[in-house]
Amino acid sequence: MDNCGPITAFIETTDSASVPISTQPSTSKQTSANSHVTLNGATNMNTDLIESDYSDAEEDLDIGSPKKMHVGVRRSEVGHLLRSEQGRPHDSDTEEEFHDPSMEILSLPSKCAEQAEEFVRKVWEAGWRVVHHHSLPSWLKDNDFLLRGHRPPTYSFVACFKSIFSIHTETGNIWTHLLGMIAFIGVATYFLTRPSLEIQWQEKAVFSAFFAGAILCMTFSWIFHTVFCHSEKVGKLFNKLDYCGIALLTMGSFVPWLYYSFYCRLGPKVVYLVLIFVLGTACIIVSMWDKFSEPEFRAVRAGVFIALGLSGVIPAMHYVITDGFFHAIDDAALGWLVLMAVLYITGALIYAFRIPERLFPGKFDIWFQSHTIFHIFVIAAAFVHYHGISEIANYRLTLGDCLESEIE
């Protein structure tokens, strides 16, 4: 089956090779130089995946072993494919007697497709072996306190999305915000479908900014964690979207809070809304910078988003000064807002310091790593904020329309 092009070439190359392969990470240049198998444009696998898989398989089983290994098992699998194709017994002697070369040419594409499909299936079956941190290419090395259970690069969206249902370092991160997204879609649907006698359209419009921010933040987040291992380009793009989501959640959270806290005071309301819009946009612009997503900027990232959230101290102080501290607690749900800020900041600090995996490297590879805890804090903070703004809105709406004396 020499006419099957790169597929056979790939299989033959891997089948005949028996040299040890180092488990050191391949560079992205090496990756692109490797043979790729393309099946209807849907699946792209390369030799890196295989090498990484097996490097880890050995390391996980025998930690103290030298970092050299053979890929004989996989090669025998691939070799079997080749043999099954090459050495397929003929149905009968008759077929050989009436051997027609034109028939062979006609059946070639389907045989190639069959062979390619089988090959991709085999690679896929063994492809969900997770790898050690040092087997990852540099662009996938984000947290060196998580030692094992990393997904290797997949170069396939199908493979990335299938990984949602397997266990690896990103499983907790994906599911926390996937479930968070579903929860917020549920709450938003309930809120926005209330009859207008219960909740008027103005309230629905104002709360929509918060719901949109929360849903977008969670959506960008779980999708980012899902496709992070696709390739460097895709990972970086979705990482930026993930940061945009945090800025959008913060901006969206400010809208109902400022709207109800400064209900009758148009001046401060507009000034603070413009301020958070400008600061949020600045955060999004900073997030577009390539270096921003690199591991050494972890603390800077946490600082930038904490600062964006803490810009809310200015309107909060304004309210306390004009209306008094106890009014702020009772009528503007200041207590809930402070709790929300504490949750966000605690989550961001856990994220920045990478607690607990920093203290116990390798012990939180899969569950309860800092990033997952940070996600849970974000969800909790968003729900606390929802409760807080609901209280402020309820209080403000029971007062009725603004009095002439209240309007600024």
Contact positions toward Zn ion, by CB under 5 A?
Answer: 221
Q: What are phi and psi of 295, to 5 degrees?
A: -55, -35
- In 3-state terms, what secondary structure has residue 68? strand
Q: Min. distance of Cβ 141 from Zn ion in angstroms? A: 16
Least distance from C-beta 225 to Zn ion, angstroms? Answer: 6
Residue 45 per-residue DSSP state: E
Q: In sequence order, what are the beta bridge partners of 46?
A: 36
Nearer to Zn ion, 57 or 355 (CB): 355
Cα-Cα-Cα-Cα dihedral sign, residues 194, 215, 312, 326: positive
Q: Spell out the residues 6+ positions from residue 330 whose beta carbon is closer than 8 angstroms to its own.
A: 395
Is 80 a known ligand-binding residue?
A: no
- 211 three-class SS: helix
Nearer to Zn ion, 52 or 370 (CB): 370
Within 8 A by CB and 6+ apart from 58, the residues are 23, 65, 69
Return the number of the residue (263 or 374) whose C-beta is nearest Zn ion: 374
- Nearby residues of 29 by Cβ (< 8 Å), 6 or more positions away: none
Looking at the Cβ atoms of 203 and 242, the one nearer to Zn ion is 242
Structure token digits, residue 372: 């997952």
For the chain, the C-alpha Rg in angstroms (whole number) is 28
User: Can you tell me the distance from the alpha carbon of 45 to that of 258, in angstroms, rounded to the nearest whole number?
Assistant: 50
Which residue, 82 or 381, has its beta carbon nearer to Zn ion? 381
- For residue 213, the minimal CB distance to Zn ion (Å) is 16
**Cβ-based nearer residue to Zn ion, 74 or 354:** 354
Q: Minimum distance from CB of 378 to Zn ion (Å)?
A: 8
Tokens for 60, please give them: 């996980």
385 annotated ligand binder: no
Looking at beta carbons only, is 115 or 239 nearer to Zn ion? 239
DSSP 270-292: HHHHHHHHHHHHHHHHHHTSGGG
The residue whose Cβ lies closest to Zn ion is: 221
**Cβ distance 391 to 333 under 8 Å?**
yes
Q: How far is the CB of 231 from Zn ion (least distance, A)?
A: 19
371 is in an annotated binding site: yes
Count CB atoms within 10 A of the CB of residue 408: 12
Which residues are annotated as part of the binding site for Zn(2+)? 225, 371, 375
Going by the annotation, the residues of the binding site are 225, 371, 375
